[in-house]
């Protein structure tokens, strides 16, 4: 049933997803509403606008930011971030894609949901778009010394700095450069996020005009999920927004792309730091891309996905195998695969770490591999395995990253954006069955590879080469541009720049009346922690935990081994043992046969180690190795066979495969730095505070990346490679002696079958009374270091030793992180400093309190702001509301739901380390009891200057500043 101003177009039950999809149209404006009705109290809202920029000024991205800086009904400076802390939301954000901008949120509390809906509707459709907000969020020029017109001009702005950071990533540069050629005429030709050198070209008038045409209900798609009826949502859409609009004549859409009549080949460059300039001829990227069919055609989309899976899904896939095993490059490109996020799909493959003189050979390798597939076909069992992967991905109930409802909404959004059928992309069972019938024809895949790839002339070969001087040229061009701007300024214009800087500072300092915004309070918080209970049982003396969960026909299983005692050298290669465990051959199968076996049986299989401090003493650690997999229920028995063989019979004699895995790992880890710089900086800053924190820095942090590069370089020697394989095997021999326990997650009616399958494959084994478990020596030291890498922005971290989670002060320290961010750090680091983000948090696993900044143009000023926040804390009288908001934020993160399987797995892993339900409830209750006095007390007790550790991630241009700070300089 719909609200009177909406008409129901159609309704369809999707049994596989346990929901009903309803599509509505607003009668006056034509706004679309797609409602996913489900028995789930985590309700999700999203409003998307088709945004189609025709340049790289970042207009859609800057508008996304600026629209959230105050609206007609809520004329406060920062309603979005204010609502973040006045809410129990389980998700709250805004996204800019290449052809849409979306504003989503989720909440389990209906009062909270309605509060957020009011604010979001007003922000999107009645934004104030203040020019000072445009200057803050987008771009502006100021004098380096604010009041000195004789000092240099500098560019500032949150999005400007965000995109400088984003475009420091080589993979981002590779993708946007590829799109420039793959999409020569449509909006995808441009960088919707904004190119740093183009962003300053955007005017305030252009921003407002883009808002007028694009942020209109006629161009809007409303999408909702959960147990609130569609008519209830529609009444609010109508009364809060839609009733004030008429239909808009303009139709925003992406047109058909111009097609090439012959393939093209292009070469461009990317900047690289001088410190990384060794072996430049091996740091080239080569990708080949084809433009395929439309994403709105479900049959074509599934066919393209199947072809992509068959070619690239695993190491036994023909194209993936060719890319992994060739000597022409270091690793497959991070862009490999099918991109179906645009109106027309793209298939991309290639290599990184190849030489310029080998580019034509790499292209020939790819095309020859495709010709071989087109001529010889693919074994039917591999096609069946790829279809199995498609089915599994459609069935899985997610929710561990984004809320599950939001994942479903985003699945349908691409099609809705291009006025296709969003329901079809959610209800794919019939289309999958049709595809399965088509694949019975032995020539089907051969014909598809010819049609989509070999006979498709719209093909781009892009070579992206490193240039050690390019970064300096970019900086020089920016400096010259600013110098020319300054030279052209009149005295009146100089004073106007100074006046605007002061006006913006005043605006950033002003205290708005937050009471006009809706809020929840502590009385709206559920009384108890949501807890997923599992069984405690034994089979053949093995501990077993079983959890009943709505997994939609999937079973999740884990084998957990106590981590054995390892030498220092073995600890350093533990991550590579975990990688190799599921990527090498097992039993009588080589790695290629094992990869094919995995594709036939499971959706994923992986191994990882967990090393954590005790909840009452972080110097005392515990550690486990976990082998984790998921499969369709019908494959439960086969899942057990695969997991047992993997753990007991993995082979370490495939030396060339081990060499490939290390090279691929290096490529992935190096690419991760600019996207995770703040996390890496915090990990480095905490490395002296506990054994688990130190080993995290050594294995998965910046020190681990540096060690991985050295390891990769050393394995070119066959003897060194054989020695490394022997080390991995030695670790494995120790793991085989370790005590084991098991986890099963699935639907209640299948749990007994899953247990019986497990029992049949794991007979009792003798207890190993001589087993020595993993230990680490105590750690207590101060860190002061700066890591130099290929980035245009900085990531700052400062950390203090505190207490573990069982300590009564851990709760107050946890609340303190949000309190400092809300009341001080957000304003000084993001709004005034121009960083994309900044804040503070307590990490009870490391017993450390960390300050951080993300994609930050500053260094010393940010470190000073960290200190200033503590002075502000102690010298200011703080209202209870500010404390309550910080508490709400912590409780919201504690109570945030995951997927049904994810919640069971996280409970199981927490309880392995002694984080029982009682301890988690105790911590939650302590959070609810925190006072302003507690915050001041714990800050004074633990956050003392002489105990602070500092770690920075920055670039070579900041070396002088780093040296003045007295930090040790390291490279990764």
CATH superfamily, region 784-971 = Metalloenzyme, LuxS/M16 peptidase-like (3.30.830.10)
- C-beta separation of 127 from 70 below 8 A: yes
Q: Which residues are catalytic?
A: 64
Please give the DSSP secondary-structure letter assigned to residue 914: T
Residue 726 burial (CB < 10 Å; 0-12/13-18/19+)?
exposed
Q: For residue 823, what are its two tokens?
A: 């009341």
pLDDT tens readout for residues 343-357: 999 999 999 999 999
- C-beta separation of 121 from 237 below 8 A: yes
What size, in residues, is the chain? Answer: 972
Q: For residue 658, what are its two tokens?
A: 């081990």
Residue 278 has pLDDT above 80, yes or no: no
- C-beta separation of 221 from 35 below 8 A: no
Least confident of 94-103, 689-698, 899-908: 899-908
Average pLDDT for 920-944: 97
pLDDT tens readout for residues 841-850: 999 999 999 9
CATH, domain range 264-467: 3.30.830.10
What pLDDT, on a 0 to 100 scale, did the predictor assign at position 890?
Answer: 95
CA distances from 431 to 293, 445, 590, 599, 600 (A): 16, 17, 35, 21, 20
What pLDDT, on a 0 to 100 scale, did the predictor assign at position 937?
Answer: 98
Average pLDDT for 780-797: 94
**CA gap 237, 194 in Å, rounded:** 31
More confident residue, 512 or 32: 32
- C-beta separation of 645 from 761 below 8 A: no
More confident residue, 186 or 281: 186
What do you get for the CA distance between the two ends of the chain, in Å?
Answer: 59
Average pLDDT for 718-745: 96
- Quick one: CA dihedral 866, 871, 872, 878, positive or negative? positive
Closest listed residue to residue 665, CA positions, set 727, 575, 586? 575
Average pLDDT, rounded, for the chain = 94
What pLDDT, on a 0 to 100 scale, did the predictor assign at position 275?
Answer: 62
Q: Specify which of 160-174, 273-287, 343-357, 389-403 reaches the highest per-range mean pLDDT.
A: 343-357
Residue 36, helix vs strand vs coil: strand
CATH, domain range 6-138+202-253: 3.30.830.10
- The confidence band for 102, taking pLDDT boundaries of 50, 70 and 90, is very high
Query: φ, ψ for residue 770 (rounded to 5)?
Result: -95, 5
- Quick one: CA dihedral 468, 470, 473, 478, positive or negative? negative
Same fold flag, 542-761 and 784-971: yes
Residue 906 has pLDDT above 80, yes or no: yes
Residue 276 has pLDDT above 70, yes or no: no
Percent of the chain beyond pLDDT 90?
87
pLDDT tens readout for residues 633-658: 999 999 999 999 999 999 999 999 99
pLDDT tens readout for residues 865-896: 999 999 999 999 999 999 999 999 999 999 99
Question: Domain 542-761, what fold?
Answer: Cytochrome Bc1 Complex; Chain A, domain 1 (3.30.830)
Query: What value, to the nearest 5°, has the Cα angle with vertex 152 and ends 675 and 275?
Result: 40
- DSSP labels for 433-452? HHHHHHTTSTTHHHHHHIII
List of E strands, 38-121: 43-50, 91-92, 95-96, 100-107
More confident residue, 398 or 366: 366
- pTM here is 0.92
CA distances from 57 to 136, 138, 159, 820 (A): 15, 10, 10, 33
Q: For residue 192, what are its two tokens?
A: 């919707």
Closest listed residue to residue 90, CA positions, set 106, 114, 102? 106
Q: For residue 83, what are its two tokens?
A: 């609502």
Residue 933 burial (CB < 10 Å; 0-12/13-18/19+)?
exposed
User: At 932, which helix (H) or strand (E)?
Assistant: helix 932-942
What is the 3 state secondary structure string of 21-69? Answer: EEEEEECCCCCEEEEEECCCCCEEEEEEEECCCCCCCCHHHHHHHHCCC
Closest listed residue to residue 646, CA positions, set 586, 593, 589, 595? 586
**CA gap 631, 642 in Å, rounded:** 11
Q: For residue 620, what are its two tokens?
A: 């005392």
**CA gap 766, 540 in Å, rounded:** 10
What pLDDT, on a 0 to 100 scale, did the predictor assign at position 277?
Answer: 61
Q: For residue 794, what are its two tokens?
A: 């900085």
Q: Where are the domains of the chain?
A: 6-138+202-253, 264-467, 542-761, 784-971
CA distances from 531 to 738, 889, 910 (A): 29, 19, 12
Which segments of 204-295 does DSSP mark as H helices, in order? 204-214, 230-240
Query: φ, ψ for residue 871 (rounded to 5)?
Result: -65, -45
The number of angstroms, rounded, from the C-alpha of 142 to the middle of its chain's C-alpha atoms is 33
Least confident of 412-426, 581-595, 708-722: 412-426
Average pLDDT for 675-689: 95
Number of Cβ within a 10 Å radius of residue 4: 10
- The confidence band for 529, taking pLDDT boundaries of 50, 70 and 90, is confident
Residue 246, helix vs strand vs coil: coil
**CA gap 808, 130 in Å, rounded:** 45
Average pLDDT for 5-30: 93
**CA gap 207, 193 in Å, rounded:** 14
Please give the DSSP secondary-structure letter assigned to residue 516: G
Average pLDDT for 434-461: 95
What pLDDT, on a 0 to 100 scale, did the predictor assign at position 512?
Answer: 85
pLDDT tens readout for residues 296-317: 998 999 999 999 999 999 999 9
Residue 127 has pLDDT above 70, yes or no: yes
**CA gap 744, 535 in Å, rounded:** 10
């Amino acid at each position: 049933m719909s609200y009177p101003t909406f008409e129901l177009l159609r309704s369809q039950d999707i049994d596989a997803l346990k929901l009903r999809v309803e599509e509505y149209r607003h009668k006056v404006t034509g706004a679309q509403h797609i409602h996913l009705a489900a028995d789930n109290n985590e309700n999700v809202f999203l409003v998307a606008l088709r945004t189609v920029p025709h340049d790289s000024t970042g207009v859609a991205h800057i508008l996304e930011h600026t629209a959230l800086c105050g609206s007609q009904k809520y004329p406060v400076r920062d309603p979005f971030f204010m609502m973040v802390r006045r809410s129990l939301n389980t998700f709250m954000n805004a996204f800019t894609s290449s052809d849409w901008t979306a504003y989503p949120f989720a909440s389990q509390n209906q009062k909270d949901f309605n509060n957020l809906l009011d604010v979001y509707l007003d922000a999107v459709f009645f934004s104030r778009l203040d020019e000072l907000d445009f200057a803050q969020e987008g771009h502006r020029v100021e004098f380096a010394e604010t009041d000195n017109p004789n000092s240099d001009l500098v560019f500032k702005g949150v999005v400007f700095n965000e995109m400088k950071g984003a475009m420091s990533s080589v993979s981002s540069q590779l993708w946007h450069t590829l799109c420039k050629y793959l999409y020569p005429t449509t909006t995808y030709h441009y960088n919707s996020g904004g190119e740093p050198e183009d962003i300053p070209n955007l005017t305030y008038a252009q921003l407002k005009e883009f808002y007028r045409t694009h942020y209109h209900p006629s161009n809007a798609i409303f999408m909702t999920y959960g147990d609130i009826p569609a008519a209830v949502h529609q009444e609010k859409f109508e009364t809060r927004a839609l009733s004030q609009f008429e239909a808009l004549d303009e139709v925003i859409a992406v047109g058909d792309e111009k097609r090439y009549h012959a393939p093209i080949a292009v070469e461009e460059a990317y900047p690289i730091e001088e410190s990384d300039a060794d072996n430049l001829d091996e740091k080239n990227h080569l990708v080949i891309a084809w433009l395929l069919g439309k994403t709105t055609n479900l049959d074509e989309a599934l066919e393209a996905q199947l072809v992509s899976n068959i070619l690239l899904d695993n190491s036994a896939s023909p194209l993936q195998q060719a890319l992994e095993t060739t000597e022409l490059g270091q690793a497959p490109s991070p862009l490999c695969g099918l991109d179906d996020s645009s109106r027309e799909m793209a298939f991309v493959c290639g290599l990184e770490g190849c030489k310029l003189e080998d580019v034509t050979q790499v292209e020939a390798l790819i095309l020859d591999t495709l010709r071989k597939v087109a001529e010889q076909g693919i074994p039917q069992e591999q096609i069946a395995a790829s279809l199995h992967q498609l089915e599994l991905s459609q069935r899985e109930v997610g929710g561990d990253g984004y809320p599950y409802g939001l994942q479903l909404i985003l699945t349908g959004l691409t099609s809705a954006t291009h006025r296709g059928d969003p329901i079809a992309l959610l209800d794919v069972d019939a289309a999958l069955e049709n595809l399965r019938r088509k694949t019975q024809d032995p020539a089907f895949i051969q014909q598809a590879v010819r049609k989509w790839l070999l006979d498709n002339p719209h093909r781009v070969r892009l070579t992206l080469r490193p240039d050690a001087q390019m970064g300096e040229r970019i900086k020089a061009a920016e400096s010259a541009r600013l110098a020319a701007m300054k030279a052209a300024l009149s005295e009146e214009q100089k004073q106007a720049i100074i006046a605007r800087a002061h006006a913006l500072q005043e605006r950033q300092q002003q205290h708005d009346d937050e009471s006009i915004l809706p809020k929840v309070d502590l009385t709206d918080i559920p009384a108890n922690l949501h807890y997923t209970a599992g069984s405690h049982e034994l089979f053949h003396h093995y501990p077993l935990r079983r959890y009943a969960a709505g997994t939609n026909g999937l079973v999740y299983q884990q084998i957990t081994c106590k981590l054995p005692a390892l030498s220092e050298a073995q600890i350093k290669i533990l991550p590579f043992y975990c990688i190799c465990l599921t990527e090498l051959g097992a039993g009588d199968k080589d790695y290629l046969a094992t990869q094919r076996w995995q594709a036939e049986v499971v959706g994923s299989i992986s191994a990882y180690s967990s090393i954590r401090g005790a909840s009452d003493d972080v110097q005392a650690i515990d550690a486990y190795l976990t082998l984790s997999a998921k499969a369709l229920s019908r494959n439960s028995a086969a899942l057990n066979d695969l997991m047992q063989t993997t753990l007991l019979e993995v082979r370490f004699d495939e030396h060339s495969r081990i060499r490939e895995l290390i090279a691929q790992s290096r490529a992935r880890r190096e690419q991760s730095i600019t996207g995770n710089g703040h996390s890496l900086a915090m990990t480095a800053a905490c490395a002296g505070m506990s054994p688990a924190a130190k080993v995290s820095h050594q294995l998965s942090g910046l020190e681990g990346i540096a060690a991985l590069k050295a390891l990769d370089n050393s394995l070119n020697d066959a003897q060194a490679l054989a020695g490394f394989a022997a080390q991995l095997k030695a670790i494995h021999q120790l793991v085989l002696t370790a005590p084991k326990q098991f986890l099963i997650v699935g639907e209640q009616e299948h749990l007994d079958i899953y247990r019986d399958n497990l029992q049949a494959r794991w007979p009792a084994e003798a207890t190993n009374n001589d087993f020595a478990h993993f230990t680490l020596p105590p750690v207590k030291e101060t860190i002061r270091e700066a890591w130099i890498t290929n980035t245009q922005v900085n990531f700052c971290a400062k950390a203090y030793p505190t207490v573990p989670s069982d300590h009564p002060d851990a709760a107050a320290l946890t609340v303190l992180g949000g309190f400092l961010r809300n009341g001080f750090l957000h304003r000084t680091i993001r709004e005034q400093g121009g960083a994309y983000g900044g804040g503070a948090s307590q990490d009870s696993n490391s017993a450390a309190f960390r300050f951080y900044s993300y994609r930050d143009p500053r260094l010393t000023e940010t470190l000073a702001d960290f200190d200033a926040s503590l002075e502000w804390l102690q010298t200011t009288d703080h209202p209870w509301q500010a404390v309550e908001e910080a508490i709400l934020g912590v409780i919201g993160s504690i109570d945030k739901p995951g997927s049904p399987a994810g919640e069971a797995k996280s409970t199981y892993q927490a309880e392995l380390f002694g984080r029982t339900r009682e301890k988690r409830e105790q911590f939650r209750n302590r959070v609810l009891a925190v006072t302003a006095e507690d915050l001041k007390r714990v800050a004074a007790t633990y956050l003392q200057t002489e105990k602070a550790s500092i770690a920075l991630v920055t670039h070579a241009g900041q070396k002088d500043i780093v040296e003045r700070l007295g930090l040790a300089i390291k490279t990764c």
